[in-house]
Amino acid sequence: MPDRSESDSRSRSLLRRLRDTLATPGGGQDRLDRITSLIADSMGTHVCSIYLFRDPETLELCATEGLNPDSVHHTRMRLGEGLVGRVARTGVPVNTGNAPSEPGFRYMPETGEEIYSSFLGVPIQRVGERLGVLVVQSREAREFSEDELYGLEVVAMVLAEMTELGAFTGEHNGIGATHRFPVMFRGTTGQEGAAEGRVWLHEPRVVVTNPVGDDPEAEQHRLEEAVISLQAQIDEMLTASVAMDKDQRQVLEAYKMLAHSRGWVRRMGEDIALGLSAEAAVEKEQSSARARLEQSPDPYLRERLHDLDDLSNRLLRLLTGQGRDTGAELPENPVLIARNIGPAELLDYGRRLKGVVLEEGSVGSHAAIVARALAIPLVIHAKRITNEALNGDPILVDGDQGIVHLRPEETVAVAFRDKIAMAAEAQKRYADLRDLPATDLSGKTVALMMNAGLMADLPSLMSSGADGVGLFRTELQFLIRSRVPRRGELAALYKRVMDAADGKHVQFRTLDIGSDKVLPYMKPQDEPNPAMGWRAIRVGLDKPGVLRMQLQALLRAAEGRPLSVMFPFIATPDEFHEARAALLHERDREATRGRPVPAVLKIGAMLETPSLAFAPDSFFEACDFISIGGNDLKQFFFAADRENERVRRRYDTLDTAFLTFIERIIARCDVSHTALSFCGEDAGRPVEALTFAALGIHSLSMRPASIGPVKHLIRRADLDALRRVILAARKAGAPSVRPAVMAYLATL
């Protein structure tokens, strides 16, 4: 073997300088700039560049020494595009002395890289998670040596640690902080069941603080001692596995075989001999082995990734002494999150867990076998969730659908809880009312509709006794994705919604974003008051392509069936007329193309701004239906932000002024024969719902879990009698009719 002392010394020197640079105070971009300069200087190259993922499909040049500095944060490429994209996609280094001749080479003129012939790119990755690409280039045509390749891989490993820890985030470099927004992960069912809880990360971060081993013999000894301890742990688990079934014992036997693999231990020893510490050698072998196994077409070999990670992480904890006890307490209702989990680890937790979510795995994996034995809901293939999740984050696990909601929007959380609540004991008392109409003692019937936004909501349509879906929130399908959904995806979803409704009425609300609902892939708007800013129909009309795509999806999903579409946050008649014209135009285009169009197309508006109540008669006549959006209308009527706890509870829905305003809307709709409904939180509150019905609103849309209580109260009351009570209270000058309504209810 060639004498490597000189190259090892250079590698150690570079790592020490890199460590010092990362420890120096400064912003994220400043660190990136100093690192590229340091690497280029240490390796004697003309160029060093760092590319990081902007999103799962896009790489961005974030720092460079040698290329045109103006290209930083402007040069981007897709995953697999060019040599950099190839390294990112495959996880395999590219080393060439003639970069332009390489297959897939892409010339980026803005970088000024045409004068550099040689190219060496290595993935910035940690335990299989690819975070970017580290590149060095030189003018002379030559391949870089094995020592140079090895040294750059070690540097990339350290950069991966720092990238994941957020060392390079900052306001000025466009690399934003993570772990803030709601995220949905669509995986695969590993074990059925549903759970709501708090995140518990399976692997607390093991930080490798000593990547360079000053004494190879001492590092080798530390590794050997840790491996012996690890093997003893596995042997003890097997000894204690008498009570396990055959499948579980076979899992541990396979686990033991890998722990005793001589090749695994030998490769880590070779890394130590080349200058790494024992910890760095374990992590480097873990990442390298993952890169190899992920490319294997053999599913059995790919399945060994889980056992490899489990063993490697146990070994790292033994070496670092960091352990799993970080001082954090297991939260109430813990949901375990892991890239993967070995059978021993899952058995350690036992039945304390409410659910398990894995980035990888398979239905027949070792983890799935144990999860089924413990009856723990399990979702697998939830890609990147370990990067997104933090201990304590709220999380919803739908093992039946293979879907996970991390830091869910409140509307998503409410829908999920309703799904569980409808099956809970508390709802049993309303079971006998499910198939009965909401008819009061005087014979008046009120249509009770449900709000929905997910396919998971639709089973509640039948189980709750709802008459239909008064509001299907289409924005949830945009909020839970990292990109704009495709028309075909939306059409398929809307079709499934209509199929699940089985002929019952469904009103689709077009995209309602802005205010408190910001798309993760949409640049946030710097607005002083987003609730009254660029949102809902205003976005749709300003971005007609998105609106047109959604309208086409709705028309195609109907497949000739009746379709109801309503536009949100209409403030002026012109906005409604423009949106209505767009829908009719798309309907006519579909017809000319020979596609089926809805047998009946009803077009309505959500009345959420007080201005619309004073619109000309022609507006009400043009609307097939109007739905009062109570949440927004109330906040604008009282000038009280519904997100502000200090003021939103100050104002009563049964305030006389507000109800008088509602009556004005009712009267306008009665004159124009426009169907009217009330949608919002108040529609699901029995007292408020009963009051609206008494005033003349004959359709209410609410959470599924509210339908039983509201129906129960309506069937006990006389709406005509309650209306007389309300009018008398108002005539008497009462600021709120609530006391009078409550007094009436006390007589029932």
pLDDT on residue 6: 63
Evaluate if residue 525 carries a pLDDT over 80: no
Evaluate if residue 405 carries a pLDDT over 80: yes
Residues 6 or more apart in contact with residue 63 via CB below 8 angstroms: 29, 32, 33, 35, 36, 49, 50, 72
Pairing type for strands 675-679 and 625-629 reads parallel
pLDDT on residue 243: 54
Mean pLDDT of 30-34: 87
CATH code (residue 21): 3.30.450.40
> Do 547 and 479 have their domain in common?
yes
pLDDT on residue 491: 94
Q: In this structure, are residues 74 and 61 in contact, taking their beta carbons and an 8 Å threshold?
A: yes
Q: In this structure, are residues 582 and 629 in contact, taking their beta carbons and an 8 Å threshold?
A: no
The one catalytic residue in 48, 62, 623, 679 is: 679
Distance CA 438, CA 27 (A): 62
Q: In this structure, are residues 416 and 409 in contact, taking their beta carbons and an 8 Å threshold?
A: no
Coil, strand or helix: which one is 96?
strand
Distance CA 499, CA 505 (A): 11
Q: What mean pLDDT value characterizes the chain?
A: 83
Distance CA 739, CA 748 (A): 15
Per-residue pLDDT reduced to its tens digit, 460-472: 788 888 999 999 9
* Dihedral of the alpha carbons of 698, 703, 708, 710, in degrees to the nearest 10: -40
Locate 742 and state its tokens: 């409550």
Last residue of a domain, one of 291, 320, 349: 320
Locate 422 and state its tokens: 């409808």
* Catalytic-residue membership of 366: yes
Is residue 277 situated within a structural domain?
A: yes
> Do 570 and 668 have their domain in common?
yes
pLDDT on residue 566: 97
Q: In this structure, are residues 464 and 448 in contact, taking their beta carbons and an 8 Å threshold?
A: no
Tell me the percentage of the chain whose pLDDT exceeds 90: 43
Per the DSSP assignment, residues forming a β-bridge with 675 are: 625
Mean pLDDT of 507-526: 70
> Do 85 and 190 have their domain in common?
no
Per-residue pLDDT reduced to its tens digit, 548-562: 999 999 999 999 999
Distance CA 356, CA 484 (A): 28
**If pLDDT is split at 50, 70 and 90, which confidence band does 3 have?**
low
Q: What are phi and psi of 323, to 5 degrees?
A: 60, -175
Four-residue CA torsion sign, 334, 125, 212, 18: negative
Mean pLDDT of 576-583: 96
> Do 155 and 279 have their domain in common?
no
Is residue 178 situated within a structural domain?
A: no
**If pLDDT is split at 50, 70 and 90, which confidence band does 613 have?**
very high
CATH code (residue 377): 3.50.30.10
pTM above 0.75, yes or no: no
pLDDT on residue 2: 43
> Do 224 and 198 have their domain in common?
no
Q: In this structure, are residues 630 and 679 in contact, taking their beta carbons and an 8 Å threshold?
A: yes
Cα-based distances in Å from 653 to 99, 165, 532, 607, 738:
69, 47, 21, 16, 9
* Domain residue limits at 290: 216-320
Is residue 174 situated within a structural domain?
A: no
Give 313: exposed, middle or buried? Use CB within 10 Å, 0-12, 13-18, 19+. buried
Residues 6 or more apart in contact with residue 513 via CB below 8 angstroms: 475, 478, 479, 519, 522, 535, 536, 539
Give 273: exposed, middle or buried? Use CB within 10 Å, 0-12, 13-18, 19+. middle
Number of domains the chain is built from? 4
**If pLDDT is split at 50, 70 and 90, which confidence band does 207 have?**
low
Q: Which of 250-254, 312-316, 642-646, 719-723 has the weakest average pLDDT?
A: 642-646
Last residue of a domain, one of 320, 347, 373: 320
Distance CA 737, CA 658 (A): 11
> Do 440 and 400 have their domain in common?
no
Mean pLDDT of 268-294: 79
Last residue of a domain, one of 320, 354, 387: 320
Distance CA 336, CA 324 (A): 14
More confident residue, 360 or 245: 360
H helical segments located in 299-429: 299-320, 343-349, 366-374, 385-388, 410-421
Is residue 239 situated within a structural domain?
A: yes
Distance CA 457, CA 463 (A): 10
More confident residue, 479 or 257: 257
Question: If we measure between CA atoms, which residue out of 531, 537, 451, 552 comes closest to residue 497?
Answer: 451
> Do 415 and 470 have their domain in common?
no
> Do 287 and 413 have their domain in common?
no
Q: How far is Cα of residue 72 from the mean position of the Cα atoms in its chain?
A: 28
Distance CA 95, CA 99 (A): 9
Distance CA 658, CA 650 (A): 13
Per-residue pLDDT reduced to its tens digit, 95-135: 999 998 888 888 888 998 889 999 999 998 876 677 899 99
Per-residue pLDDT reduced to its tens digit, 154-180: 788 778 766 665 666 655 554 544 556
CATH code (residue 286): 1.10.274.10
Evaluate if residue 622 carries a pLDDT over 90: yes
> Do 192 and 109 have their domain in common?
no
> Do 400 and 521 have their domain in common?
no
Mean pLDDT of 38-48: 92
> Do 671 and 570 have their domain in common?
yes
> Do 282 and 349 have their domain in common?
no
The one catalytic residue in 366, 381, 405, 669 is: 366
Is residue 534 situated within a structural domain?
A: yes
Distance CA 435, CA 444 (A): 17
Q: In this structure, are residues 61 and 76 in contact, taking their beta carbons and an 8 Å threshold?
A: yes
CATH code (residue 583): 3.20.20.60
Give 615: exposed, middle or buried? Use CB within 10 Å, 0-12, 13-18, 19+. buried
User: Half-sphere exposure of residue 339, counting CA atoms within 13 Å on the CB side?
Assistant: 18
DSSP annotation of 570 reads E
Per-residue pLDDT reduced to its tens digit, 341-375: 765 577 678 778 999 999 877 654 556 666 765 66
Evaluate if residue 225 carries a pLDDT over 60: yes
Is residue 623 situated within a structural domain?
A: yes
Q: What are phi and psi of 169, to 5 degrees?
A: -75, 155
**If pLDDT is split at 50, 70 and 90, which confidence band does 611 have?**
very high
pLDDT on residue 614: 96
Is residue 173 situated within a structural domain?
A: no
**If pLDDT is split at 50, 70 and 90, which confidence band does 1 have?**
very low
